[in-house]
Chain A
């Protein structure tokens, strides 16, 4: 969270604004004055516990929301901040923003291209530890509970099943990218979980997208080919991290950068409390914030994100139309998430972590909430052939079933492994040596440790990976020129090269970005305690100073109290406030003129005009530009907000004119 220091907040203020603030909080300022001293006194004032407590008590929901948006998007331009506060009318938004600034909770900086940009002040920053700045502030109050337990189907259990299926290497797609009929039917039979919902292929497509986005698979010749190296890395991650990546991959699509998707994935996984529903608008805002305001997302994309998360069962619809995160039942039905019968039938339940050995070794029967597998010889041997080791498989099964492997299965696996080991194929270089060199090599047995076999006199099958070593030996016995390997030159080198390279695998792009620091994640929300300023009138009435205030000062006092600027009774001091004329009513033409003129000469001020129109009373927010004298009076010219149209209003027709302060700057 970026917080501007008091120096950064107060020093750039124009003198008028600065001294207004100083007088307001510290009382009349005697001359000569020393500005740094005044700043130090102000800082001390804002460190008082009674002051801080009152500041917290004055923070209402709108304040909290603006403050939270500002905290999560430091330097957010006014226009973007407005986008996040969709439920606020433009005038109300402007007033709230100006009020937070004069309460020194936020501060504005002018950026040439972006306009006013907002940051938290130290006063605003301290609200975080009191739960007034928190993601839940943006989500809004819970709109109900989500009682139905749900099950996020794209979990480790599903990934195990997917890996098991992918290992069979079915040709799934035609050349035009469409599904092949038979494999599609097979998918339906073996992955009922992907076809549970009404919109038949939605889950299937989502599953494919997640696998591709996570780079766990790639499409090759109509097949979805799993990528063992990324799968292994994925398996090594903590479950929470995998879940974040799954959410990220689910929402990543055209129009969303990997960084945005990752930020949303991580944030939602950490922030959304399970079992509570929220207004979809709040969730929209949260997604916008975490996706970064530099490249705001369109409502269409946010809709797609939410749909994907609903399809994933990460989000669900709660009561009263809210959206929320269901209470996921990911823990196993039984204390042990795996059961295994002595004939090799396996059932795995949610709660079973990624277990690639099992996925390789056992054939998937079907994947539902619980998945069924079957061990058989062909499959087990195929798994051994791609490097699966029996020991981790057995250990894993024993760990996850909570009991020793059934004796029959232990024997079967051992028998199958023996059968597999009975035949092996190795890549070797055939060395044939004749004449004198042959005799030397035979007698010295120099190649004994470098050859895979020595099938006949003068012939050795050499381990290609030890090329340098046997080349060395051959040259040492006097073979001056070691010939090129016939037939397998370049491909063999390629094999070498690949093996050397495979030591370090670059992370897929989604993984790499998913996990960058999220400033949103260190917040815990507490319910704000808000008091109405008017409720303090009785308390302040006890202050002896209030009796010394003039009539006009009392009016200013009440106005300032409404704006939540009076924090403690000590602020009530005669001469502390200059009278501010904020409003002018219809018949008081001169007052309207003065107010308009003052607003035009002020900096970043707005006028709120109330005018009788044909359709009723209309309220307009205006950036005032000039007052033109005409025969019938003055015309107020300015740009209306938020549509920014140049408009002209006869002063006499304005029934109420109100000055809206925009910024201290």
Chain B
């Protein structure tokens, strides 16, 4: 009977799945083929039917009827009629537009957009922004290779998915194998979920596969997934990442876990402009230009080399210019890696349309339960403003209020106390404001890393930390992403960027590498200030992943 079924299908397209139900695993396996996992807290996971998820399902052979049957199979209640109608409508658009190689040999730099429905053809012909990029040819259109991504993205925005069967460029071959034993002597075993992620990305190798985004928690080994995909494809690879330290981490990982030699790995950063079979660059150098009106000189790195794969590390941070150049690179295989595909600017859909759809996602708590990431406790510690700041806070404007609350000097005392209480832990103290961090570093006598810290100095500090010579680093938002400090077991967040859910999750991610002890994430919040509301919002992503916060009220003694 339906009473026993584990799913609620809601009229806004959200699907609520009871985690504790005996059919949970089976239902999840089926539902995830056509709906995206949105939240995975303790009791109830939320999936969402979206145009993209349905089109992805369609590309994998799911019909509207099959999806309806599946929903009915698991749904406890009658499925809202509007959802079934909408699902069928969305799926009916699939296959109406196909992008193929232009059969005319004299225009091999062009692609052919086949349109099977004359009404859609008419609509596209009259669309203002598209009409500059597509040239009518009967019911169909031709477009320049360079416009492939832009046109696809625009068509998706219009509600028309494109089956892109134009072949991807193979790029230059690269001999790369994963080692069985890492250089550091440890055996390298690809974990089950990592293998699933690799398989989900590579797919069948048919047109329509070979690009997409893999979403996995911090510390769960996204780099390993990237390397396994590189090994699977065996093609020249461009890796883009957030900063030079991350570039070096990638290089070290490649050397440690693959058979690549040092000379085949090039670094393309502010200090070095090397290009090799595997090139690791920063987003920063790629988007550098002399002034606002100049072209981006380093974009040639994308265009002029026979890449067979581009990896976008921390793809959620992809800067707008890189989006634009990515739109030109639709014939190259593209892999996005991220732990938190949330953008406060709502740019997730651009990631999906230009880099590729979400191919794999795994709940954080599931990996925690399996021991693949560290078990973490989250604490919010509230401390009142000192008396001398209460009046200035009350009188300040909104922006100033936030700053006063963030820089509450009592947070420094609390952090000192926490450091004292946790003598065994390796601690990152992270904050938003440099003066506050300087003060903190000074009080602790700990090294400080900010955006201005030279890379060599940063590397040295990280190395000392990794070796256990230092157990505390005070660090600004430069450490939000892609910093791999395996032994860090505790993070103290002094302040952050407003209510950023992504920042909170990424900062927690710094201490999620599995280790012998549980991790502790402490976020310091000024009591009775706007920071409390920001903190509540910041924690939302993690609580949706099943994390629990405790709130401690610390009095000042």
Contacts and interface: CB of A to CB of B under 8 A. Distances in A.
A343 interface: yes
B380 A192 contact: no
A345 B78 contact: no
Contact of A347 (B44, B80, B528, B533): B44
Contact of B77 (A341, A344, A369): A369
Residue among A150, A329, A366, A408 with most chain B CB within 10 A: A408
Contacts of A412: 536, 551
B499 to A, nearest CB: 11
B553 interface: yes
A523 to B, nearest CB: 28
B368 interface: no
B10 A343 contact: no
Given A149-B76, A347-B16, A329 B43 contact: no
A150 B77 contact: yes
A466 B553 CA distance: 40
Nearest to B538: A343
A430 to B, nearest CB: 28
Given A331-B3, A334-B18, A341 B81 contact: no
A534 interface: no
B496 interface: no
Nearest to A313: B78
Contacts of A344: 536
Contacts of A407: 548, 550-551
Nearest to B551: A411
A419 B528 contact: yes
Interface stretch (B107-115, B135-143, B539-547): B539-547
B11 A193 contact: yes
Nearest to A189: B12
B527 to A, nearest CB: 8
A376 interface: yes
A151 B3 CA distance: 12
Nearest to A378: B533
Nearest to A192: B11
Contacts of B549: 342-343, 406, 408
Contacts of A151: 77-78
Nearest to A339: B43
Interface string A343-370: 1110101100000000000000010111
A310 to B, nearest CB: 13
Contacts of B550: 407-408, 411
Contacts of A221: none
A376 B536 CA distance: 9
B543 A192 contact: no
A192 B76 CA distance: 18
Interface in A304-355: 326, 329, 331, 333-334, 339, 341-345, 347, 349-350
A366 B12 contact: yes
Contacts of B2: 149, 329
Contact of B551 (A150, A326, A331, A408): A408
B12 A368 contact: yes
Contacts of A192: 10-12
A198 B551 contact: no
B217 interface: no
B10 A406 contact: no
A113 B282 CA distance: 98
Nearest to B80: A196
B76 A339 contact: no
Contacts of B533: 376-377
B41 interface: yes
A385 interface: no
Nearest to B14: A368
B362 interface: no
A349 B5 CA distance: 14
B49 to A, nearest CB: 13
A148 interface: yes
Contacts of A197: 81-82
**Chain B interface residue bracket vs A:** 35 or more
Given A341-B544, A411-B553, A149 B78 contact: yes
Given A339-B43, A345-B544, A369 B536 contact: no
A281 to B, nearest CB: 26
A149 to B, nearest CB: 4
B532 A377 contact: yes
Interface string B196-225: 000000000000000000000000000000
B44 A149 contact: no
Query: Interface majority SS on B: helix, strand, loop or mixed?
Result: mixed
A474 to B, nearest CB: 41
Contacts of A411: 550-553
Query: Interface majority SS on A: helix, strand, loop or mixed?
Result: loop
**Chain A interface residue bracket vs B:** 35 or more
Contacts of B78: 148-151, 326
B336 interface: no
Contacts of B527: 415
Nearest to B552: A411
Interface string B1-28: 0110010111110101010100000000
Contact of B380 (A334, A366, A408): A408
A408 to B, nearest CB: 4
Contacts of B43: 334, 339
A199 to B, nearest CB: 11
A297 B8 CA distance: 40
Contact of B8 (A349, A377, A415, A419): A349
B548 A406 contact: yes
B544 A196 contact: no
B3 to A, nearest CB: 7
Residue among B9, B76, B544, B550 with most chain A CB within 10 A: B76
Given A193-B11, A196-B80, A347-B44, A333 B16 contact: yes
Interface string A185-228: 00000001101111000000000000000000000000000000
Given A334-B43, A342-B547, A407-B550, A149 B77 contact: yes
A333 B8 contact: yes
Nearest to A406: B548
Interface string A159-202: 00000000000000000000000000000000011011110000
B11 to A, nearest CB: 4
A342 B12 contact: no
A149 B77 CA distance: 6
A558 to B, nearest CB: 53
Interface in A144-159: 148-151
Contacts of B552: 411
Contacts of A331: 3
Contacts of B20: 334
Contact of A343 (B11, B81, B532, B536): B536
Interface in B491-532: 527-528, 532
Nearest to A349: B8
B10 A339 contact: no
B543 A341 contact: yes
Nearest to B41: A341
A196 B11 contact: yes
A329 B548 CA distance: 32
A494 to B, nearest CB: 37
A370 B76 contact: no
Nearest to B12: A192
A408 B548 contact: yes
15 contacts: A151-B78, A196-B81, A197-B81, A326-B78, A339-B42, A341-B42, A343-B544, A343-B549, A345-B544, A349-B8, A366-B12, A376-B533, A411-B551, A411-B552, A412-B536
Interface of A: 148-151, 192-193, 195-198, 326, 329, 331, 333-334, 339, 341-345, 347, 349-350, 366, 368-370, 376-377, 406-408, 411-412, 415, 419
Instruction: Please name the 8 residue pairs, one residue from A and one from B, whose CB atoms are nearest each other, closest first.
Output: A411-B551, A343-B543, A368-B10, A149-B2, A192-B11, A151-B77, A408-B549, A196-B80
Given A333-B16, A368-B10, A406-B549, 10 more contacts: A149-B78, A195-B11, A196-B82, A341-B41, A366-B12, A368-B14, A369-B9, A370-B8, A408-B380, A415-B527
